[in-house]
Every structure is written in structure tokens, then in C-alpha cells.
Amino acid sequence: MLRVDTPCAGARGGRLAQSLNLRYPAHAARRGRKTERVSTTSHYQIVIVGTDLAGLVFGALCAKRGYRVLILGQGTSGALYEQQGHTLVRRLDLIYGLQSPPVRRVFEELSLGLELRNLPRAQEPAYQVLLPKARLDISSQDRVLQRELRREFPEQVQAIGEFYRTVADVDAQVEEVLRLRPTMPPSGLVERFAIRRLTARFPFLEDEWAMDDPLQRLPHGSPLRAMVHAPFRFVSGMLPAKPYPATFVRAVTELGKGTYTFDKGPDALRDLFLDLVKQGAGDVLTKASAVQIDMRRGKAVAVVLRDRRQVIGCDLLVCNTDPKRFFHLIPQEVQDEEYHHAIHMLQPVYYTFVGNFVVRARAIPEALARHAFAVHDLLLPLEEDNCVHIARDADIGGSAEERELRLITASMRVPLHAASGGPRTAEHLLDRLQRRVEETIPFLSEHLVFRDTPWLRAGQDGEMADVDPTELQPCYGEAIAQTLGTSPVATQTGYKNILLGGNASFCGLGHDGPYVAALNLLALAQDLVKLKSGF
């Protein structure tokens, strides 16, 4: 039978599984043995494996409705990690788009309208774009932004106005589609009919429809191109050869409305939804991991936990983590060959490399915004260290001005082969990233106290052993059909009661993605798992 990752066959597969930190029950690894039946120790209607934001939002929505929900940590962690006494950032996210239709819908259903108004702290400027001969403070206030653009680009005011008008026109249509909440991709006759009706109204729903370059009037190497595309390359989890309107215009429009932080730090939203699951009809086992999924007639009936001697029965199982590792938990002899091949073929086009630099406070320039996007050469592609996302104090939510040590976190997109180069390549990438950051923070090296990248995991005696595959943040290229060009994966899977969420689901929508994914999961879950009346 075809396995999830066909190169895993034989000894070579064992080495790959070991490098990916995958563990399988012995009986599941041997061909031809039947899956062992184990009595369940507890039962939940919905079991969510992993702590990606999409699944946590979905879990909170289900718990609010009265479903009995369990969330398993599956070895995943939050945005922060510790290294040699320093709190560092493993994932550099930009929070924006809090007033978009999917986000508002989720917060309203969870009765969190007041929290949505009071918890986020708006940033001014929203972010900066640092170009070779210009620094742009991007404000959410139209008057301030227009003044900034006129100062830097007095000869291109008309082109700028036309660009933003084009984006606004297309975005209004995209927002209307998101407000209607179609199931994407459609899973049945009713959903397909609904998509056909929407396509008649909104031509960009056609899979072949990609967006013409809205900056085509500007020459190659124009700083305006970099101003628009640099942040887009980091907030969207998909970078197709030609951008789809739903991914591009949503990023431009929502970023223009402002960016935010939370006083409780970068894990504030994650912790909020975990607490909502606990307060509702749910439980959270952040340190628990599933090692096997028990299947019967194409349905998941239970998950076996590591080191707990627990077998959790379920009516619905949700993958809320890396899909390749998740679907390896299904014993080989009962795997859906066609679907596992599709999961195996799911390949990103880039990884996001993150570096942390702990510096003395006086190294931070006073004018540096909380988030900045630095472009080194306007004539080169916005890839690798030519386009860098720099953030200060991303480990906390509030002011850090009184701290003796401050944190600078930077990230860049790198090709896939960079992850296979081992520790030396990771250190080389960290050097390149540091050199680019020093162009923005000239005295970084002079005041540098400690640096680290989450890509490197410590081996024995504190030595860096290898690149940690769980820390690789993928960025995908092309979307599957009938998802507005926003998702490389479908919510439904090759199994009757297993759904797919996680960071990959609708990642092209950036900050909207987890909320669209959660609402999509909810629509399908309500059909698969019925609540008894009276509860």
C-alpha cells in the first residue's frame, strides 16, 4: 500500500521518520498486521490534535454550542521559547484585520465583542517599509498616509491613487463573498450550486482568474512596488506566481486599517481560545500527544495517547497541526492511498527563517516601529535576505522601554533546500539575517548579548545537533480549486470523520485564514456530529 511519504520505505524511511521526530506503534509499522483494538478510557464528540489557531477557534465555537471537545497539544508550542535564560520568538506574526467579516463573526458568536474592542492595542505607525533611499511610516490614518506618500513620491501621486482605488473595488467584492461564508471547496450538490451562483456575480471566484498587476504603470524597481509587496510576502502564507485577488487585496486593505498588539503578549489569542474551550464543554491536554489513530471502516474511532495509557474515543477528529505528521498516525494497512499520496505531494515553496537578537536597550533606534519591512535592493526579487521582516520586543505586548535588554526578531523567506543543510547552513542564514538587520540597527553587533534561531535544537551537552523540522514554517505556492486561491488544502479529507484545519488551511488569507478555516470546519462538523435535543 502507498504510504503517506513514499520515500519512507525500508531503512531510508526509518531514518527520515527519526529525523522528523515521528514515532509509530510497532504493530502499525509492520505491513500486513491488523490494527489492534483497544478499549477507550473516555469519549469526546470532537477531538482536535494540535494547537494551531484555526483549530482552537473551532474548538471554542464547538464548546460554546455544547459539544464535548478535547484538544491535544501534540508537542506543539506557542509563539515563545526559552534559550539560556532569554525569552525568544519562534514565529513572527503581524496582527491585523480584526474588523474583517470572519473575525467579527467568530467574536460575536463567542460573545467577545467587548474584548475585540478593548484587548487589542493599535500601533502607530502600523508598520514601516525601509527602502534604500526612503523610510515610509505606514499609518492607518488616511490623512497621515497620504502626506507620507506625497513626501516620498510626489511624481507618482496619480498612480498611487489608481492603485488604491483598484484594490478597494476588488476588496469590496472579496469581503462580500467572505460575509456570505460559502463552503470552500464545496462538498456537496448544494454547496456546488451556491459556488456557481457566486461565480456568476464575482468572476474572480474562477480558479483560472488571477489578478493583473495593479502596479503595472510603475517601472521595474519602483520603490512603490516594494512598499506594497514586502509586507504582503510575510502576512500571506501563499505566494503564487501570479497573486489571486482574495490573497493580495485582503492583505493590502486590512494592513492599511492598522496593526495591533495584545498586552498579554503574542500568545494572547491562542490562550484566549484555549480558555474558552475549558470554560465550555471541553478539556485541554497541552502536554498530551496522540501516537496512533484507531480506524474502523474509514472512520476514526479513537486516538491512543503516548505515555498515558489512555485511548480517547471520538465522533469527529480534526487535524490541527502539520498534516504529514498527523496522517502518519493512521496505520498503514488502513490508509486511504489516494488521499495520503495527495498529502505527500503537498509541498511548500519557501520556509520562513527566524532569528532572535538580544541586545542592550541603547542599541534600539528611537524611530524604529514595532514592525518594519526592509528591502535591500529594489532591482532584485523580494526573496531571502533582500526582504526582511524586523520586529522589536515581539516577546511582550506592552512597552519595553524600561528593560535593560531588548529583543530584535527578524525573519526572511528561504528556499526549501536551506532546511536540509544542517546546523552550518542555519548558522550561515543567521549571519546573513544579522547583516541585514545591522543595516537598520547599525550598533546591533556592538550591543549584542545573545542570538539564536528556533531552527536549531540542542543536542547532547548543549551542542546544536540538527535543524528541528517542527520549527519549519512553510509558505505554499498554488491553491486547490474553488478556494478563492486561498488554501493549498481542503477541509474534508479522504476519511469520513476526519477534517483538516491547522496553519495551512486558508493560509493565503493571512490573519483572516484561521477564522475562515474555523467557520468552514464548524459548518461541516454540525453535519457530521449532531447534538441531542435538550442539551
Res 163 pLDDT > 80: yes
Q: Quick one: pLDDT band at residue 10, thresholds 50, 70, 90?
A: very low
- Pairing type for strands 498-500 and 311-319 reads parallel
The b-or-e profile of 249-268 (16+ CB within 10 A means b, else e) is bbbbbbbbebbbbbeebbbb
Beta strands at 387-392 and 405-414: parallel, antiparallel or unpaired: antiparallel
Per the DSSP assignment, residues forming a β-bridge with 70 are 47, 283
CATH fit for domain 6-79+267-347+479-528, picks 3.20.20.150, 3.30.1280.10, 3.30.70.360, 3.50.50.60: 3.50.50.60
User: Residue 284 in contact with residue 272, Cβ under 8 Å?
Assistant: no
Q: pLDDT digits over 344-366, tens only? A: 999 999 999 999 999 999 999 98
By the 8 A CB rule, do 514 and 525 touch? no
Q: Is the pLDDT of residue 15 over 80?
A: no
Grid coordinates belonging to 463:
551542542
Percent of the residues in the chain that have a pLDDT greater than 90, as a whole number: 64
Is 312's pLDDT higher than 50? yes
What pLDDT, in 10s, does the model give residues 482-492?
888 899 999 99
Pairing of strands 69-72, 42-49: parallel
Q: Which helix (H) or strand (E) holds 405?
A: strand 405-414
pLDDT value at 443 more than 70: yes
Report CA dihedral (358, 360, 366, 370) to the nearest 10 degrees: 20
State residue 318's pLDDT score. 98
- Give CA separation, 266 vs 37, 209, 231, 453, in Å: 41, 36, 19, 17
3-state secondary structure of 177: helix
Exposed, middle or buried by CB within 10 Å (0-12, 13-18, 19+), for 43?
middle
**25 Cβ contact partners less than 8 Å away, ≥ 6 residues apart:** 36, 291, 292, 304, 331
Percent of the chain with pLDDT over 70: 90
Per-residue pLDDT band at 76 (split at 50, 70, 90): confident
Q: Give the span between the Cα atoms of 461 and 77, in whole angstroms.
A: 23
Compute the distance between CA of residue 62 and CA of residue 72 in angstroms, rounded to an integer: 15
Say how far apart CA 3 and CA 335 lie, in whole Å. Answer: 7
> Which residue's entry shows cell 532572535?
356
Please give the pLDDT value at position 34: 45
Longest CA–CA separation in the chain, Å: 73
pLDDT above 90 for 89: yes
